[in-house]
Amino acid sequence: MPLRTDSRARAEAWFLEHGLPYFVDDLRADVRRRLHRTRVLIVLAVAIVLGAVAGTVIGLLAGDDGGTNGFTAGVTVALAAIVVYALRALKTGMIARWAGGRALGSLGLLVPLATRALPMLLLFITFLFINTEVWQVADAMSPGVLGGSVLFFALAAGFFLVSRLGEELDDVDDLDDVTAVVAACGGTSVEDEARALAERGDQLAVNSQVVGLEKANLVLALVIAQAVQVLLLAIAVSAFFVVFGAVAIDEDVIESWIGSPPTYLLGQVVSVQLLKVAIFLGSFSGLYFTVYAITDATYRQQFFTEILRELERAVGVRAVYRELQDH
């Protein structure tokens, strides 16, 4: 029994190290309690109250006649409160750390994808960047409207990621036999236990199916890994246009476009109007890149093959973990 307990402890440590807290029985039970309807309603109520207070205060301080600044600030604060609860109480911080690390480790795959996706995108948004109407629209945007636009693009990108990336996991838990489970456990902390259980004739593959919170853990890991890369690309595009605009577009040109002198934040180099246009186009680029990435077969094969291999190992370790629990 002590050896079996030690093996389960090593499996649990492996899960936590690889951003899979919901694979640990005690943590999953704790998270399930924190997802009880009553607690979720309390969290939502607190988030709404915080958002309403923040939105009202920001709206009053900003002299927000249209309510856009206050509304955007309120929604942002409410979402931030929910995210904080998820990171702390629902243990998603562990998932985010691992997935973020995997995404940063796979940045090399982002370069060839960017070279395929960005040329046409840059051609299109560069045309928009030197378009008078775009500057007029951006100049008329209050911080609330601009923030709301960015938030809309982010939510749309998140919807596409969640709806499509779940399909990538269809085959991850299809470990049809004991041999597949043992192979998946190769190089993990329970490799020896997997071989011993297989030699004893235990049906490890029976425990390979992943559902519920554990499936959500796998999907969330994929979504965060992809979202980190999309965010980096969107920031890079915004930075490109800030530099390009600061170098190529004179103050007189901006004034002729927007009908008034531009407002500067950093000396006489970067104007508020330039930042607004760059942020808007960068966030739009992030949405475009999200759709392109999840539909590009070559990128999906390269990026997801590696990370799905890691998740397949997790399914194998989980099968052994469950078998150790049952005996």
Q: pLDDT tens for the chain, 327 residues: list them.
A: 444 678 888 888 999 888 889 998 899 999 999 988 899 999 999 999 999 998 888 888 876 555 677 888 888 899 999 999 988 888 888 888 888 887 777 677 667 767 776 777 778 888 888 888 989 988 888 888 888 899 899 999 988 888 887 777 776 666 667 777 778 788 888 888 878 877 776 665 555 677 788 888 888 888 888 888 888 888 888 998 999 888 888 888 988 999 888 888 767 778 889 999 999 999 998 998 888 877 877 767 666 677 778 888 888 888 888 877 765
Residue 284 in domain:
yes
Residue 87 in domain:
no
Residue 199 in domain:
yes
pTM of this prediction exceeds 0.95: no
Residue 230 in domain:
yes
Residue 221 CB contacts under 8 Å (≥ 6 apart), including other chains: 19, 20, 95, 98, 99, 102, 307, 311
Buried b (16+ CB within 10 A) or exposed e, 204-232: bbebbebeebbbbbbbbbbbbbbbbbbbb
- Number of domain units in the chain: 1
SS3 assignment, position 174: coil
Residue 38 in domain:
no
Residue 103 in domain:
yes
- Segments forming the whole domain that contains residue 109: 96-326
Residue 252 in domain:
yes
Residue 234 in domain:
yes
Instruction: Give the type of residue at 189.
Output: S
Residue 271, strand partner residues: 264
Structure-token pair, residue 150: 């960015």
